[in-house]
Structures are given as structure tokens and as C-alpha cells.
């Protein structure tokens, strides 16, 4: 199987530190097809990413409305419920209510047709690429209108705004040149790890169930994948104030409380491997090899990593039994990046700036992967024996039974701790579901032959 014609950043993350997410709408479909034909040579594919790392990258994805605007017949997109509906229409299901509800999202992050993602390893390279792209797109002859430009940047040491090392636990993909390193992939029946079927991430290939996920008909269904984009604002002051207060009440360190909520230490080391204090840093190459080599079977009651911690919910590994077989159909390739400047260290009151995570993930099924994880594992505690408790970081505002009442979190242990009801640390500011076509799909779109 050749992976060459899949767009870049899917099979293998770029690990570039600077990005611009450019949201746009189609004004003149014929002109956009012309622009796309011309841009094709500049789009980054998996094959562009060999020994020579490009200085900057360009990728393009389309919403359902975007594909229709470009003349794709609707019947070619049947059976794609969540994609067709769009993220805003799925708000109730994924918990985007109250302050996260789509009617509070800024207009420019709603009803978009295209997402152009630029990344680069230096700010200078990004600036150059951005200037060129915006100049081209601001010419009415491109047929596009830019609705929103969102810069993003990796924070020092690869940390997200709450202070945790992020992005290194990813599934290994069968046929890709990397992995599986232990813990990336899926558990084997007896021991070890194996890579996950390509069809879990790329349309048109067999998935872990031996079938291919529903895909657009024709060229758009080849070498393509679905992309979830969510602008998630993080209230860092509130997070710090909460963890400090709970630490005071329970006579613990705030970093310990925060680590128990996330399920890893700030430096990325696992609570299962290092229950009493941080182990080696995630940025250390040797530690990185081992950083995912743990199972929750070694910590069945959550005394090391709480049953409701973010990483344990988001990928329960073997925690649901059956050698991890219940989790392998719900894996996400995460490729997000932080936006906004970090809050000053130690500050626990808001500074008025906006910051958060441009959450991006890829997968062959929006329903079975992103939406399932968001709703069943982050938005509810039932399957973990935690009632209706939600994820301490990233749950939606409502749970399965439609309640928006804040809930606490239990830190299991010989003497369990009960954290006070969790305020909202993360608010959805906008987002959408996109299709990221492969080379053939892009060519067909440019030629109007979809
Ligand atoms: C602002 C919101 C969020 C923050 C701050 C956050 C933070 C983190 C951190 C620090 C990690 C551990 C590092 C790693 O494993 O790479 C992690 C892991 C993960 N997160 Fe999030 N996250 C957020 C939202 C989400 C959402 C919305 C989802 C899915 C719907 C999600 C899914 C995952 C998954 C699948 C893992 C990997 C777990 C594993 O493989 O062990 N996260 N997150």
C-alpha cells in the first residue's frame, strides 16, 4: 500500500512549532477550482516528507458545505452523518452547551468551507508563506474569502497552557515507517504491542473490524481522512486557582492535584510508572521510548492514575478489559497546537488574554472516534464506574443525561480524596468537521470531476 498521496501531518506529525489556520469561504466556485489546480504543486503530501524536511507546509481540507459549494454532488457524500451535519449541529451530542454552545461562537468560525493549514519550523518561514498565501487569496480571482486566521505555536518544552507536556501519546499505524513503540498501537493478546490498521485513519482501507469506514464515493474517498478542528479556550488562572485551593484543603502540592487530574506528571511521565513523583522528562529521547509502555491493568483501582484522569479516559488502553480490544476502534491521531501567550508563571488571576488549544485530530470515523471519545469517555463516567462524572479538563458542558451541574472528581487511593465540583477550565470557541482529501481527490476537485 502506498501512503504517498495522503496529505502530510496525518501518518507522521510535522512537529513544526509554528502554524496558521486559515478558514475561508467559497465565493466563486470556478475560480476556487482554478486556484486549487494552481496550489496543488504546493500542497504537502506524505511523500513530501522524506529526508528533506520542507521549510513550510500547506494543507487543505473542506467542510461538507465546502464540497457542495465546489459542486460535489450530495449523493456522493451519503452515509456520512456527522460530517454532513457539521460540528455545530452535533453540539448537544458532544456537550457544546452553555458558554461552549455554537450560538456563542464568533461568526468567522461558523459556516466555513475550507481550512488551509500552514506550518513551519521557524516564525520567519511561516511569515513568508503566510504573506504569499494571503496575497494570493485576497485577490478576488482566487474565488475565496478569508473569514478567520488563527495563529498557533508550540509552547516551550512542548507544554500546553496548563503546564503539561502534550502530544506524544499517539497510535502507531500499520504500514507507516514509525512504531509501534510500546504503548502506541494496540495490545497484543499475550504481550507486546502491534500497530493499528490503516483503515482506522485512512478511508478506503480495512479497519480493525476488517471493513472500510463509510467514505465519500469516488476520488474523494481515496487517501483521505476526516479532520476535527476545535478552538478550545483554556482558563489557566482558574485551573491554577482551583488546584491551589484543592491542594490547600487536602494538604497536597498543587502540581500533584493537577497531575492526578491529567493522569501524567507535568513532564509527561506516567503516573502508573511513577506514582510518587515525576520520572524522566518526555523530551528525553530514552524516556520517550518508554513513556507509553504502561497498562492500567497494573493499576486496576486507580491508586496511581485515577480512573477519571484525562489520559485514562481519553485512551483507557486495557482498563476496560478484553486486552484493550474495546479501545482500539476509538483511537485519535492528535495534531493540535497551542494558541495565545502563556499566563505568567504563578499568576492565579486572569490577565484578560485569550489562550488555548487548537485541537486537531484525524480519523476515519467522526462518530466512532472523536465523537465517541468526547461523549462516552470524556463526557460521562459510566463505563469507568464513575457515575456521570466528566473529564476534569475537556468534557463538554452537559453529560449523557443532559445535566450541566458541575461534578467533582475522586482521586482513588487507600484514603480517597474528593475534589470539589470542577469549574469549567475549557470552553469551545468554534470548530468544524473537515474532509482532508488525498491527491486524487484534490485533483478531481480542481478539475470539477467529483
Ligand atoms: C484544552 C483541552 C485539552 C488539554 C489541555 C489536553 C491535554 C492533554 C495532555 C496533557 C495529554 C497527555 C500527553 C499525551 O498523551 O500526549 C493528553 C492526552 C490525550 N488527550 Fe487531551 N487535552 C485536551 C483535550 C482533549 C480532547 C477534546 C480530546 C478528545 C476528544 C483529547 C484526547 C486525548 C487523547 C486521546 C490523549 C492520549 C491519551 C493516551 O494515549 O494515553 N484531549 N491531553
pLDDT tens digits, 287-324: 888 899 899 999 999 999 999 999 999 999 999 988 78
Asked if residue 314 has its Cβ within 6 Å of ligand 1, the reply is yes
Query: Residue 400's pLDDT is what?
Result: 63
Phi, psi angles (nearest 5°) of residue 444: -65, -40
Give, using CA atoms, the residue closest to atom 32 of ligand 1: 314
Asked if residue 169 has its Cβ within 6 Å of ligand 1, the reply is yes
User: What confidence tens digit (pLDDT) does each residue in 196-237 have?
Assistant: 999 999 999 999 999 999 999 999 999 999 999 999 999 999
Asked if residue 432 has its Cβ within 6 Å of ligand 1, the reply is no
b or e along 303-331 (b: 16 or more beta carbons within 10 Å of the residue's beta carbon)?
Answer: bbbbbbbbbbbbbbbbbeeebbeebbbbb
Indicate if the pLDDT at residue 187 is higher than 90. Answer: no
Asked if residue 393 has its Cβ within 6 Å of ligand 1, the reply is yes
Q: Which residues contact 189 (CB under 8 A, 6 or more apart)?
A: 323
CB atoms within 10 A of CB 300: 12
Distance between alpha carbon 192 and the CA centroid of its chain, in Å? 26
Query: If pLDDT is split at 50, 70 and 90, which confidence band does 163 have?
Result: very high
Give, using CA atoms, the residue closest to atom 13 of ligand 1: 166
Q: What is the DSSP string of 192-220?
A: SEEPBPGGGTSTTS--TTSS-----SGGG
176 with 46: CB under 8 angstroms?
no
Instruction: Kindly state the cell numbers that stand for 352.
Output: 484578560
Query: If pLDDT is split at 50, 70 and 90, which confidence band does 401 have?
Result: low
Query: Residue 282's pLDDT is what?
Result: 85
Say whether pTM exceeds 0.85. yes
Cα of 98 vs centre of ligand 1, distance in Å, is 22
Asked if residue 45 has its Cβ within 6 Å of ligand 1, the reply is no
425 with 50: CB under 8 angstroms?
no
Give, using CA atoms, the residue closest to atom 25 of ligand 1: 394
Cα of 311 vs centre of ligand 1, distance in Å, is 6
Cα of 314 vs centre of ligand 1, distance in Å, is 7
Give, using CA atoms, the residue closest to atom 26 of ligand 1: 394
Q: What percent of the chain has pLDDT over 90?
A: 84
Which helix (H) or strand (E) covers residue 417, if one does? strand 417-419
CA distance 362 to 435: 9
CA distance 289 to 421: 36
CA distance 132 to 154: 23
Q: Cα angle at 366 between 86 and 187, to 5 degrees?
A: 165
User: What confidence tens digit (pLDDT) does each residue in 346-359 have?
Assistant: 999 999 999 999 99
| Residue 166 CA, closest ligand 1 atom number | 13
Query: Residue 6's pLDDT is what?
Result: 96
To test ligand 1's pocket by mutation, which of 171, 334, 366 has the most ligand atoms within 8 angstroms of CB?
A: 334
Asked if residue 357 has its Cβ within 6 Å of ligand 1, the reply is yes
Cα of 132 vs centre of ligand 1, distance in Å, is 33
Q: Summarize the confidence of residues 428-432 as an average pLDDT.
A: 97
User: What confidence tens digit (pLDDT) does each residue in 60-108 have?
Assistant: 999 999 999 999 999 999 999 999 999 999 999 999 999 999 999 999 9
Query: Residue 359's pLDDT is what?
Result: 98
Asked if residue 168 has its Cβ within 6 Å of ligand 1, the reply is yes
Query: If pLDDT is split at 50, 70 and 90, which confidence band does 132 have?
Result: very high
> Does a cis peptide bond (omega within 30 degrees of 0) precede residue 180?
yes
Instruction: Kindly state the cell numbers that stand for 411.
Output: 482521586
Indicate if the pLDDT at residue 396 is higher than 80. Answer: no
CA distance 435 to 227: 6
Amino acid at each position: 500500500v502506498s501512503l504517498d498521496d495522503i496529505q502530510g501531518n496525518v501518518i507522521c506529525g510535522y512537529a513544526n512549532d509554528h502554524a496558521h489556520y486559515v478558514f475561508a469561504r467559497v465565493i466563486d466556485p470556478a475560480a476556487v477550482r482554478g486556484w486549487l489546480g494552481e496550489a496543488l504543486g504546493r500542497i504537502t503530501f506524505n511523500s513530501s516528507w522524506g529526508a528533506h524536511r520542507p521549510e513550510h507546509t500547506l494543507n487543505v481540507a473542506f467542510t461538507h458545505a465546502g464540497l457542495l459549494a465546489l459542486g460535489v454532488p450530495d449523493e456522493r457524500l451519503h452515509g456520512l452523518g456527522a460530517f454532513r451535519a457539521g460540528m455545530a449541529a452535533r453540539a448537544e451530542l458532544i456537550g457544546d452547551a452553555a458558554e461552549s454552545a455554537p450560538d456563542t461562537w464568533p461568526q468567522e468560525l461558523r459556516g466555513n468551507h475550507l481550512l488551509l493549514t500552514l506550518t513551519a519550523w521557524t516564525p520567519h518561514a511561516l511569515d513568508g508563506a503566510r504573506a504569499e498565501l494571503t496575497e494570493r487569496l485576497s485577490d478576488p480571482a482566487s474565488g475565496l474569502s478569508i473569514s478567520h486566521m488563527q495563529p498557533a505555536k508550540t509552547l516551550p518544552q512542548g507544554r500546553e497552557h496548563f503546564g503539561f507536556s502534550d502530544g506524544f501519546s499517539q497510535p502507531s499505524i500499520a504500514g507507516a515507517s514509525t512504531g509501534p513503540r510500546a504503548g502506541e498501537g494496540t495490545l497484543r493478546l499475550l504481550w507486546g504491542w502491534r500497530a493499528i490498521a490503516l483503515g482506522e485513519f485512512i478511508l478506503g482501507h480495512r479497519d480493525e473490524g476488517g471493513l472500510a469506514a463509510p467514505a465519500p464515493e469516488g476520488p474523494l474517498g481515496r487517501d483521505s481522512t476526516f479532520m476535527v478542528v476545535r478552538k478550545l479556550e483554556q482558563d489557566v488562572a482558574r485551573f491554577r486557582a482551583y488546584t491551589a485551593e484543592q491542594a490547600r484543603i487536602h494538604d497536597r502540592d498543587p502540581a500533584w492535584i493537577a497531575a492526578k487530574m491529567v493522569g501524567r506528571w507535568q513532564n509527561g511521565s506516567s503516573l502508573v510508572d511513577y506514582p510518587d513523583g515525576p520520572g524522566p522528562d518526555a523530551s528525553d529521547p530514552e524516556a520517550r521510548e518508554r513513556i507509553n509502555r504502561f497498562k492500567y491493568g497494573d493499576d486496576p483501582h486507580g491508586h496511581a492514575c485515577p480512573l477519571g484522569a484525562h489520559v485514562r479516559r481519553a485512551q483507557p488502553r486495557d482498563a476496560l478489559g478484553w486486552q484493550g480490544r474495546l479501545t482500539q476502534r476509538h483511537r485519535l491521531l492528535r495534531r493540535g497546537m497551542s494558541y495565545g501567550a502563556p499566563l505568567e508563571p504563578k499568576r492565579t488571576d486572569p490577565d484578560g488574554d485569550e489562550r488555548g488549544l487548537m485541537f486537531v485530530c484525524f480519523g476515519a470515523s467522526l462518530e466512532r472516534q472523536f465523537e465517541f471519545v468526547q461523549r462516552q469517555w470524556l463526557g460521562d463516567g459510566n463505563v469507568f464506574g464513575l457515575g456521570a462524572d466528566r473529564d476534569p479538563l475537556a468534557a463538554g458542558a452537559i453529560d449523557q443525561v443532559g445535566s450541566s451541574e458541575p461534578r467533582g472528581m475522586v482521586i482513588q487511593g487507600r484514603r480517597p480524596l474528593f475534589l470539589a465540583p470542577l469549574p469549567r477550565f475549557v470552553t469551545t470557541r468554534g470548530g468544524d468537521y473537515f474532509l482532508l482529501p488525498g491527491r486524487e481527490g484534490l485533483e478531481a476537485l480542481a478539475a470539477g470531476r467529483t
